[in-house]
Structure 1
Amino acid sequence: MTHPSPAENGLRNRPPLAAAYMVASAFLLIAMDGLVKWLADDRGYHVTQIAFLRYFICLFMALAMAKISSGGMGSLKTRRLKGHLWRSVCNLVTMLTFYVALMLIPLPNAVAIGLAAPIFMTILSIPMLGEKVSFGRWIAVAGGFVGILLIVRPEGGIIEWGSLSALVSAVFWAFTLVSSRQLSSSEQTHTILFYYALTVVFVLGIAMFWFWRTPPLEDALLFIAIGIAGTFGQFCLNQAFRYGQVSMLAPLDYTGLVWAVAIGYVVWGDFPTPIMLAGSGIVVACCIYIMRSGKKE
């Protein structure tokens, strides 16, 4: 099976722009995660309501983006409905399992375990995107998994449910990121956002009959902030994969750990253990190697 080149499928090779979008996405999504943890853990809202309201807001923002785009509302038409559905399912599982993790473990821990996603991305980029991974990068991937083990089991004990939930989220996040790259070959960013938001609102809207709780004004503002940060974070993410390769962008996702540690410490007084920091360092070092070797190939 052959795969189209970036020139053939419409993707553009602009690494600096892709890197800027990826870093912006990491910051916005971690800021959103902090707000989610606050509403779920501190304010007691169910994760399904948080997810529903996030993408209810996202749906209208995607429609607004389509309205002002060059193609207008007609840009929402697609011939890749199955691709959108696959991405939506992966992202929905990613979101709900990660939100559960945020309820059960500290923010830095959940984000650190999520560092596994770029490792899986590098692996998935081979069969799904036709990208090449050298032997050296395979060694780095193996080293990354060693670091992941240290992160998931920082005290050497039994893995807790929150950590398992975060790891499941990381696997499906990798599928989501790779599918974003696939869809970006022909779909506009706001089109990808629209179909995902529509799927989430439809599926989780049914659950609102059991989990809805009317928020007061201060909480409503936090929900709006989550929707805005999440939408622009997803927008930047899709733009990053429009302009750069998965294996090159993967390491930049780790910048989110810096923001997670800062937010977790300032808001909840949480700080990673030395073993978890060591594991994170191993993973980051391996991914830096993956990034640098990818540029040389």
Structure 2
Amino acid sequence: MASLSPRAPMRGAAIPILVAAIGIATFSCMDAVMKGLSIAIGAYNAMLWRSIAGAAMSGMLMLVMRVPWPSRSGLLLHVKRSGSAGISVLLFFWGLVHVPMAEGVALTFLSPVIALILAAPMLGERIGRSAIVASVLAVAGVIVIVLGKAHEGAGPEAIHGALAIVLASFFYAYNIVLLRKSALVAGPIEITFFMNLVFACLYLPAAPVAAVVPPLHQAPVFIGAAALAIVSSLLLAWAYRRAEAQLLVSVEYTAFVWAAILGAIVFGEKVLPVTIAGALLIVAGCFIAARGHATPGPSTEAAS
């Protein structure tokens, strides 16, 4: 996301930091709701119906706020960015069915480091020494988490779930790079609407063979998940427009804490010491990358 220029003082960033923290907590609650839905009806159906609800709700915001329709180039950018994010979140929630929430969120922290590597061919940026060190630490963190899962005696589904989330991080990293461009030409309501719209269009072709109409009593759950995603997206967009990314990036990592708490309360999950160790390695890599080169926060916004 776009950061402020000139540099905002830490004292003036207190409110944006608080707003960002609330946005991360809100998004973590949405993750918990979506994991429950994915377990009940599958990740595809959970994302299909949440995207339809999200497109309808954010579309109403577009109309009420009279947000103009984007240009052809802006529309193409929305499609490219949201398409990669749509694949990412589907992989993420499929993987999250098979792994604890804290472990899944820790693996998504790979995205900022991958984004630095993608920025070289896509934006013509040079890969510095800090990006290389960050990549090594991030990969080491992933290896620790996956090996810890294997050592725990987890079945192949758990390993496949972790690998699906790693793959999701690559798709979301591509989205992160494009998000830098989107933030300069579109507001948060427009970005949120087109993300949900593209998600729905991406998933609908498979509906004749894969879609299942959920029970009517689950409708409020889908609406609630969509509302949580929209609120979180708007809160984070507001915060990132008023404070530099380097001041807010540490707040993004509170998602791991929320994931551990919600995973324990809602799903009875335990956080393994190796998961914490792997997460610390990945986060350390992200901070090294941030010191050497400006980078967006991790992919806690993947499912917005």
| Cα distance in 1, alignment partners of residues 214 and 277 from structure 2 | 43
141-150 or 28-37, which moves further after superposition? 141-150
Given candidates 15, 21, 34, the residue that maps to 2:32 is: 34
Is residue 147–residue 278 contact of structure 1 (8 Å, CA) maintained in 2?
yes
Aligned counterpart, 2:97? 103
79-88 or 281-290, which moves further after superposition? 281-290
| Cα distance in 2, alignment partners of residues 21 and 172 from structure 1 | 27
Identity fraction in percent:
22
Aligned counterpart, 1:265? 264
Say if 1:135 and 1:214 are closer, same or farther in 2 by CA, change over 3 A: closer
SS in 1 for 2:103: helix
TM-score with structure 2 length normalisation? Answer: 0.79
SS in 2 for 1:271: coil
Deviation at residue 129 of structure 1 after TM alignment: 4.7
SS in 2 for 1:160: helix
Deviation at residue 223 of structure 1 after TM alignment: 1.1
Deviation at residue 289 of structure 1 after TM alignment: 3.9
Deviation at residue 263 of structure 1 after TM alignment: 0.5
Is residue 249–residue 291 contact of structure 1 (8 Å, CA) maintained in 2?
no
| Cα distance in 2, alignment partners of residues 250 and 93 from structure 1 | 24
Where does the alignment leave 5 or more consecutive residues of structure 2 unmatched?
295-304
Aligned counterpart, 1:193? 192
What RMSD, in angstroms, separates the aligned Cα atoms of the two structures?
3.1
Deviation at residue 284 of structure 1 after TM alignment: 2.2
Tell me the amino acid that sits aligned with residue 61 of structure 2: M
Say if 1:230 and 1:119 are closer, same or farther in 2 by CA, change over 3 A: same
Say if 1:18 and 1:142 are closer, same or farther in 2 by CA, change over 3 A: farther
Is residue 3–residue 244 contact of structure 2 (8 Å, CA) maintained in 1?
no
Deviation at residue 90 of structure 1 after TM alignment: 0.5
Deviation at residue 209 of structure 1 after TM alignment: 3.1
Deviation at residue 141 of structure 1 after TM alignment: 3.5
Are 2:48 and 1:52 aligned?
yes
Deviation at residue 202 of structure 1 after TM alignment: 2.4
103-112 or 130-139, which moves further after superposition? 130-139
Aligned counterpart, 1:139? 133
| Cα distance in 2, alignment partners of residues 224 and 100 from structure 1 | 20
Is residue 3–residue 245 contact of structure 2 (8 Å, CA) maintained in 1?
no
Say if 1:131 and 1:67 are closer, same or farther in 2 by CA, change over 3 A: farther
Give matches, 1:92-171, under 5 Å: 92-129=86-123, 134-155=128-149, 160-171=159-170
SS in 2 for 1:120: helix
Deviation at residue 134 of structure 1 after TM alignment: 4.9
Aligned counterpart, 1:3? none
SS in 2 for 1:40: helix
Aligned counterpart, 2:215? 215
| Cα distance in 1, alignment partners of residues 130 and 202 from structure 2 | 43
Deviation at residue 123 of structure 1 after TM alignment: 2.9
Aligned counterpart, 1:63? 59
